[in-house]
Amino acid sequence: MSSPSLLLEIGMEELPPKSLQTLEKAFAQGIEKSLKARQFDYGAVQSFATPRRLAVLISDCNAQQPDQLVERKGPSLAAAYQADGTTSKALAGFMRSCGVEDASDLTQIQTDKGTWLAYRQLKPGASLAAEMPAILFETVEQLPIAKRMRWQNRRDEFVRPVRWLTVLHGDEVLACELFGQVAGRDTYGHRSMTDGEAISLETADQYEAVLHSAFVIANFEARRNRIDSQLHEAARDLSGQLTNDPSLLDEVSALCEWPEVLSGQFDTAFLSVPEEALISAMREHQRYFHLRDDKGQLKSNFLTVANIVSRDPATVIAGNERVIHPRLADAKFFYDKDLNRSLGDAQKQLDLVIFQHSLGSYGDKTARVARLTAFIAESLGQETQAPIRAAQLAKADLVSNMVGEFPELQGIMGRYYALSEGEPEAVANAIRDHYLPRFSGDVLPESPVSYILALADRLDTLVGLFSIGQPPSGSKDPFALRRQTLAIVRICIETPISLSLDALLAEAARPFDSDFDVSLVKTYLLDRFENLLTDQGAQWDTVRAIRGRASGVTDLYAAAQDIKTLDQFRSNQASSIVIASQKRVQNIIEKSADVPTRPVLPEQFCEDAERTLWQWIETLIASESASLESRLSLVISGATALENYFDDVMVNTEDPNLRENRLNTLRQLNKALTELAAFNVLQTSEA
């Protein structure tokens, strides 16, 4: 026979929309975790979330825990009785603690250390009703709430003021309290489309259907799908194409309980403003969806999601049109005003805008970045005129009226202003694209001018902040250096471009404190390089092996390729012989630091294995200019020579001359191998 369903609902003031899905998931997982920890059996778990509620419905939830077998271990049998057979103090104390009067109520358990007395009791399981207050409290305490608030005269805190609490197991209310609200069977429908009176639930399973009849779609995905369907239907009615915008769809789904899509329009005169500004005004400020025509041009229509089915939708639409008009009018005014000032004049104003107190103004940064772009362009064999010009104009739109009102348009507006002044398209595009990638997984700048400027801008910020002792620490990263450094790594290895990392960092550090240790920046950058590649599937020890080779990492793109090559090398069975031998070689060398380092004398070789190994070492040294793939093939070919050497040759022989020569042979071997990779950090299946 199945058990009743369990319903828990917390009713609140409007929840933050961007946190709703996270809270929904955490609430359901928390309840499930607490039930599981208390050994309550249950069936399917369904979560719900609207702006005014978090809820979970759990089918077939047992009302009682299974009985618990409690076992307490007492004294050993030898220590339980005295010589005359009477009860020892240890046993008497144990019996009192267990509430046992007769030792025959105890049981004996056998262990590898002898026989022990123990007390076993079958304890009835607790009821769901008794455990519910603790289950609810534990879950609420662990919800991921970024900013908690207080209300009325309460001292406890939560994401929003709690207005009701529903806890039903089947048709039974489970008594508990949360933030002053006593659990009951009442819930509430839509704030505007119902009379606001409480709705009494007869059973937990009625929850979703009852709310639906009260104009609440409690299931987030069902609400999202309804909005998505209505958006596409409205777009077709307007002969428009809807841009896929899942984050905006999630946000509007979190803002309503009974969504209704309405369309509106704005004056076509506003279409003379760059479309990004219009879209930003509609999306960021009003959460409107924009439409395009069949040629991809922005239409003067928008779609909005209302949280109500209005008796007079025309009035609602007119209200939305009135709201968006001043936003678009502001955008047009700012754009027209910006066009009346040249980028050159705007650039001069950057001297008055502080980038960072110790690093000067944006004007100072612009000069540094322009010089660094020239260096990078020359290093890549590219012309320097366009990159330098793009660097000089890249930050000019920061002082524009449009970016002041719409900060998310930095770079985008700079491109429009540059094109309006006749700047080359490559320069204009670089002004826009040097901010790429803006977030994890974003596209990279594609043209040489764009990625050169993107590198120079980020390197200047990274090196500059390290030079004044302000690297990111813990959760403190005001300039988003982690993200910017990952962008540097991605641009280098995915574009791809080949640059000397040491030369690049040295050039970026030139304008800063001469005593600054730029190796700190390199280490930080290589740590991000390692994180990125391991996230993409590279083996962590392979990355460490390339980082740890004698020459280190001097080129990010080349190093990324070498990591792939070394991973392939490890798939060869002979590689494990080389890896194990290298570790053995390094151990021998470390323990023989007192032996002088001298040239190897082949005439002192006594064993064929010595001569074979030395020939292989010389071949490996001579292959210095070959690719890593070719050199690793040579390494594989020497695996047998390595194995035979350690089988046939006693390195630490009693003859001091032979011992010294053999140790120096191993030193040459170690040097040749560590030029390729730090094989000693690689793990093998035998490790």
Whether 172 contacts 184, CB under 8 Å: no
- 49 domain-assigned: yes
DSSP output for 217-240: ---HHHHHHHHHHHHHHHHHHTT-
Element (H, E) at 36: helix 20-37
Token output for 64: 């009682």
C-alpha 161/C-alpha 154 separation (Å) is 10
Choosing from 305, 338, 371, the residue where a domain stops is 338
**pLDDT tier for residue 180 given thresholds of 50, 70 and 90:** very high
**pLDDT tier for residue 1 given thresholds of 50, 70 and 90:** low
CB neighbour class for 51 (10 Å; exposed up to 12, middle 13-18, buried from 19): buried
Choosing from 86, 108, 123, the residue where a domain stops is 123
C-alpha 300/C-alpha 291 separation (Å) is 8
Strand arrangement, sheet containing 114-123: 68-76, 114-123, 107-111
CATH number at residue 490: 1.10.3210
- 328 domain-assigned: yes
Beta bridge partners of 465: none
Which of 102-106, 145-149, 459-463, 529-533 is least confident?
102-106
- Same domain for 97 and 139, yes or no, is no
Token output for 253: 């789904």
Indicate if the alpha-carbon torsion angle 315, 319, 325, 326 is positive or negative: positive
- 377 domain-assigned: yes
Interval 369-414: pLDDT, tens: 999 999 999 999 999 999 999 999 999 999 999 999 999 999 999 9
DSSP output for 265-287: E--GGGGGS-HHHHHHIIIIIH-
- 551 domain-assigned: no
Chain-centre distance for alpha carbon 270: 39
Whether 48 contacts 56, CB under 8 Å: yes
C-alpha 595/C-alpha 612 separation (Å) is 23
Q: What percentage of residues in the chain have a pLDDT greater than 70?
A: 99
**Half-sphere exposure (CA, 13 Å, Cβ side) for 330?**
16
Whether 28 contacts 47, CB under 8 Å: yes
- Same domain for 118 and 152, yes or no, is no
CB neighbour burial string for 151-177, b if at least 16 within 10 angstroms, e if fewer: eeeeeeebbbbbebbbbbbbeebbebe
Q: What percentage of residues in the chain have a pLDDT greater than 90?
A: 81
Over range 284-290, report the average pLDDT: 94
Higher per-residue confidence, 55 vs 106:
55
- 595 domain-assigned: yes
- Same domain for 415 and 460, yes or no, is yes
- Same domain for 350 and 463, yes or no, is yes
- pLDDT of amino acid 347: 92
Check pLDDT > 60 for residue 467.
Answer: yes
SS3 of 348, please? helix
- pLDDT of amino acid 687: 42
Check pLDDT > 50 for residue 54.
Answer: yes
**pLDDT tier for residue 80 given thresholds of 50, 70 and 90:** confident
User: Strand pairing of 114-123 and 68-76?
Assistant: antiparallel
- pLDDT of amino acid 192: 92
- Same domain for 415 and 477, yes or no, is yes
- pLDDT of amino acid 367: 97
Q: Which residues contact 409 (CB under 8 A, 6 or more apart)?
A: 276, 277, 280, 397, 402, 403
CB neighbour class for 207 (10 Å; exposed up to 12, middle 13-18, buried from 19): buried
Whether 272 contacts 326, CB under 8 Å: no
- Same domain for 632 and 645, yes or no, is yes
Amino acid at 642: L
C-alpha 613/C-alpha 317 separation (Å) is 85
Over range 266-292, report the average pLDDT: 95
C-alpha 72/C-alpha 78 separation (Å) is 17
Write the secondary structure of 639-682 as one string of H (helix), E (strand) and C (coil).
HHHHHHHHHHCCCCCCCHHHHHHHHHHHHHHHHHHHCCCCHHHC
- Same domain for 247 and 208, yes or no, is no
- pLDDT of amino acid 117: 86
- Same domain for 664 and 607, yes or no, is yes
Interval 200-233: pLDDT, tens: 999 999 999 999 999 999 999 999 999 999 999 9
Check pLDDT > 50 for residue 663.
Answer: yes
Check pLDDT > 80 for residue 475.
Answer: no
Choosing from 189, 213, 237, the residue where a domain stops is 213
DSSP for residue 14: P
C-alpha 231/C-alpha 243 separation (Å) is 10
Strand arrangement, sheet containing 162-169: 45-50, 53-58, 6-12, 162-169, 172-173
CB neighbour class for 594 (10 Å; exposed up to 12, middle 13-18, buried from 19): exposed
**pLDDT tier for residue 685 given thresholds of 50, 70 and 90:** low
Question: If you average pLDDT over every residue of the chain, what do you get?
Answer: 93
Over range 115-138, report the average pLDDT: 89
User: What global pTM score does this model have?
Assistant: 0.81
- Same domain for 272 and 176, yes or no, is no
- Same domain for 159 and 40, yes or no, is yes
- Same domain for 671 and 591, yes or no, is yes
- 546 domain-assigned: no
Whether 390 contacts 431, CB under 8 Å: yes
Over range 514-518, report the average pLDDT: 85
**Half-sphere exposure (CA, 13 Å, Cβ side) for 266?**
30
- Same domain for 202 and 233, yes or no, is no
Check pLDDT > 80 for residue 573.
Answer: yes
Domain, as residue range, for 324: 220-338
Which of 174-178, 571-575, 629-633 is least confident?
571-575
Q: Of 325, 282, 284, 326, which Cα lies nearest the Cα of 304?
A: 282
- pLDDT of amino acid 667: 94
- 558 domain-assigned: no
- pLDDT of amino acid 299: 97
C-alpha 684/C-alpha 539 separation (Å) is 12
Q: How many helices (H) and strands (E) does the chain have?
A: 27, 18
The H-assigned helical ranges of 272-400 are 275-280, 286, 313-339, 343-349, 362-379, 385-393
Packing angle between helix 575-590 and helix 639-648, nearest 10 degrees?
Answer: 50
Whether 362 contacts 395, CB under 8 Å: yes
**Counted domains in the chain:** 5
- 535 domain-assigned: no
The CA distances from residue 464 to 128, 438, 500, 524, in Å, are 60, 20, 19, 14
Higher per-residue confidence, 305 vs 119:
305
Over range 627-638, report the average pLDDT: 93
Percent composition of the chain: helix, strand, coil (DSSP 3-state, to 5): 50, 15, 35
